[in-house]
Amino acid sequence: MQRRAFLHNLAAVGAISCLPMSIQRSFAAQAVAVSVEQLPKLEGEITLYLGRGEGGLYENVLEAIRKRNPKLNLKIRRGATAALANSIVAESKAGVKRADVFWAVDSGAIGLISDAGLARPLPADLIAQLRPGFQYPQWAPVTGRVRTLPYNTDRLTAEQIPDSVMALADSDLSIGWAPAYASFQSFVTAMRLLEGDKVTADWLRAIKARATTYAGELGVVMAVERGEVDLGFANHYYTLRLKNGKPDAKVALGFTKNDAGCLVNAGGILALSDGDLPINFIRYLLTEEVQSYLASEAYEIPLVEGAKPPQGLPPLDTISPPKIDLTQLADLRPTLNLMRRVGVL
């Protein structure tokens, strides 16, 4: 879906709104991911704190929401997700409330706000739209990303990818990683929670001995495709984006099972102010139109029931991520301390 078509589809008043109410209710009953046509118009002033995300695609969503709702005065403060989360907590301690909603690209930042008691509860019908395993009382995951092992298809087959990320410590495979990347650090945090600090530290030391470091995870995937390393650690969408531009790229997605290596993390949104406007704003991000747009353009995983995953990614119910409360990934300090102690940062 191209940007112009998306903006038109989300902003326009379409045919569904012209149908009789009985047919509209029937349509709504058939789809968990509701259409934007079924939502109330947004009116009034609202301030959004927006974590950086996906090269302007989130900005396209917000532009479309503005066009559809001319009586909405949407103010946006942009910045790194972690920095904005810290600002929200600091402002609350100072008795100042500037943000009404917070759209974060990382669930750890959401956890920081929730732990501070600043998030407002979400209505049950909104929570029910989300996939099982991604339903939280105070925040709505918008889209997800799964940790993967992209591998070079000239050097490895799918059968040679271990089911356990822990097994890589004892392998002779060459590995690419980006330990300074935020998603990698969330992955290590998940490993700490699941396996303990000692096991995680030993794993990091073993991987470091055969790993090549890159500045980011797109660089990891590109290095895998060039054959510089056998496999790497990266979010799924870097591989899918590379293959979209280069269909014959010599890289494929590998998945572990039930461990941090296939963690499904999520970006999400929460309400910081009472009233209908923040909640109804959140509803727009869970619509069929927005979910489909982020899946097709950003290759992110829709987390609303009924929305299709991005092309090239197996259905989410065929992946075996670990069971973990994503907000527990908020406490990064022990992870960073551990990574520095073993010399990977």
SS3 category, 154: coil
Element containing residue 128 per DSSP (H, E): helix 124-128
Tokens of 113: 């706000």
Q: pLDDT band for position 55 (50/70/90)? A: low
Q: Residues 243-292: pLDDT tens digits?
A: 999 999 999 999 999 999 999 999 899 999 999 999 999 999 999 999 99
Distance CA 329, CA 56 (A): 25
* pLDDT reading at 105 higher than 90: no
Place of tokens 């005065």: 73
Distance CA 42, CA 295 (A): 24
Q: Alpha carbon of 233 to those of 75, 150, 215, 285: distances in Å? A: 37, 7, 12, 29
Q: State the average pLDDT over residues 28-55.
A: 80
Distance CA 267, CA 107 (A): 6
* pLDDT reading at 115 higher than 60: yes
pLDDT at position 8: 59
* pLDDT reading at 109 higher than 90: no
Q: Residues 169-224: pLDDT tens digits?
A: 999 999 999 999 888 999 999 999 999 999 999 999 999 999 999 999 999 999 99
Distance CA 3, CA 325 (A): 34
Q: pLDDT band for position 106 (50/70/90)? A: confident
Length of the chain: 345
Q: Residues 283-332: pLDDT tens digits?
A: 999 999 999 999 999 899 999 988 888 989 988 888 899 998 888 888 88
Tokens of 291: 């979910």
How much is the mean pLDDT over the chain? 89
Q: State the average pLDDT over residues 2-13.
A: 56
* pLDDT reading at 75 higher than 90: yes
Residues contacting 55, CB < 8 A, separation 6+: none
Give the domains, in start order, of the chain with CATH numbers.
3-144+264-318 (3.40.190.10), 146-263+322-341 (3.40.190.10)
pLDDT at position 97: 86
* pLDDT reading at 21 higher than 80: no
Distance CA 339, CA 345 (A): 6
Q: State the average pLDDT over residues 9-32.
A: 42
Distance CA 62, CA 285 (A): 9
pLDDT at position 57: 85
pLDDT at position 19: 33
Tokens of 320: 């075996």
* pLDDT reading at 6 higher than 80: no
Q: pLDDT band for position 136 (50/70/90)? A: very high
**Quick one: what percent of the chain has pLDDT higher than 90?**
72
